[in-house]
Amino acid sequence: MNPRRDVDPHGGHGTPHEPTPTIWPVGFAIGIACIFIGLILNPIVVAVGAVLAAIFGFLWIRDVTKGIRSVPEQPVEEPEHAPAAPPLPADRGGPAMPEPGEGEIIRYPRSKFLEAATLGLGGLIGVVVTAPVLGFTVLPPFVKQGHDKIDAGAIEDFPENKYVIVTFLLKPEEGEVSRRTAYIRNNGFLGDAPSFTCLSNRCVHLGCPVQVNGLPLDDQAQTDVNEGQRVIRIPTAAAAGFGCPCHGGQYDNEGNPTAGPPVRALDRYEFSIDNGRLMLGDTYSVSEVDGTGAEAQIHSYPLAGPGQHVDGPSGLLYPVQPPR
């Protein structure tokens, strides 16, 4: 007798389909853990973990599928068919539709046709309705991205070798929610071309706003309203790099990470000079910057999201970027 009738829907006749106890998942879990630890510490640990996981995973699968793979020895006896209930009246008498005779084409019953038609039409309606909904859900975030150039002000507004905090509306039609900040330094001239460093203030750890490690001179702020972009320029006392308030990432004056979790250097805005005014364009990512000021060597990459490596083996994890 099974005292636990409540847990057994077969009333004690069925056997629980539990796999036999096995120890292999423990080794498999250790392997997986090694892979994750190795991702942080050392690729060799990843390889060791992968081997462990593969071996123990194989053993585990072999153990679990033992019952399925081995064909049961006992011959399956077909029990004499004793009807559990008296046959339904429909079972008596001849079939509703006579069997096709010799040489007659096999008829396709009406019920079958209606069944197929209902399912087919239902499925078709489902697809026709679902496809636009899915498209509307997924596609808009990937089309019509990007923004106009930002007029950051006349070149003379930027003192040489000092960072100016420039905030502006990236998309004026979206309002203050699109306000972005750049740290812009006039590097003087390289040859006869003016040189600027235009850092994005988006932390490349997880996207918090990086702050200037220096005093913003709020009383000297200038405001421009250029086509609704509402640009504000705030000069700073000599900045000693940048810091992020969220998780403590630190950057030097060129945007190279010096401490904390950032994975690359600060993103930068492309810039151009138009009629003596500094125009900010799209943003791009930077793995690192060699040198300083106008002579700096910028290792640039297409824009990647915060926390994503752009170079090295970890950069291979992000082969395709959505349009930004």
Partner 1 sequence: MARKKPGRTQQLLRILLYPLQWLEERSGIVGGVKYFLFRKVPGDISWGHVLGSASLTAFIVQAVTGVVLAFYYKPDPDSAYESIRYITDDLTLGWLLRGMHRWGASVFIILMFLHMGRVFLYGAYKYPRELNWIVGVLILVLGMMEGFFGYLLPWDQTAYWATVVGVNLQATGPFVGPFLGSILQGGAEIGPDTLARFYSLHMLVLPGAIAGLILLHLYLVVRLGVVSPPWSAYAAGDPRPEPPPPPRAGLVAPGPRGARRR
CB 278 to partner 1: min, Å:
22
16 token code pair:
């629980």
Q: Among residues 138 and 193, whose Cβ is nearest to partner 1?
A: 138
Give kind and range of the element (H or E) at residue 25.
helix 24-40
CB 263 to partner 1: min, Å:
9
291 token code pair:
């040198």
Residue of 36, 58, 113, 142 interacting with partner 1 (CB under 8 A): 142
Contact by Cβ (8 Å): 226, 151: yes
Residues 3-62 that bind partner 1 (CB under 8 A): 3-9, 16-18
How many CB atoms lie under 10 A from the CB of residue 92? 7
Give kind and range of the element (H or E) at residue 58.
helix 43-64
Contact by Cβ (8 Å): 321, 304: yes
CB 4 to partner 1: min, Å:
5
Residues 198-217 that bind partner 1 (CB under 8 A): 206-209
Residues 160-179 that bind partner 1 (CB under 8 A): 170-171, 174-178
Q: Among residues 284 and 318, whose Cβ is nearest to partner 1?
A: 318
Give kind and range of the element (H or E) at residue 119.
helix 110-138
CB 253 to partner 1: min, Å:
24
Residues 302-321 that bind partner 1 (CB under 8 A): 304-308, 317-321
3-state secondary structure of 121: helix
**Look-up of token digits 């300083």:** 292
CB 105 to partner 1: min, Å:
46
Cα gap 286→303, rounded to integer Å: 8
Cα gap 313→33, rounded to integer Å: 20
Residue of 40, 105, 138, 193 interacting with partner 1 (CB under 8 A): 138
Residue of 67, 141, 228, 291 interacting with partner 1 (CB under 8 A): 141
Q: % helix / strand / coil in the chain, to the nearest 5? A: 30, 25, 45
Size of the site for partner 1 (CB under 8 A): 42
Q: Among residues 169 and 289, whose Cβ is nearest to partner 1?
A: 169
In DSSP terms, 257 is beta-bridged to: 251
CB 308 to partner 1: min, Å:
6
Q: Among residues 15 and 70, whose Cβ is nearest to partner 1?
A: 15
List Cβ neighbours of 101 (8 Å cut-off, separation of 6 or more).
none
Binding site for partner 1 (CB under 8 A): 3-9, 16-18, 137-138, 140-142, 145-146, 170-171, 174-178, 206-209, 246, 304-308, 317-324
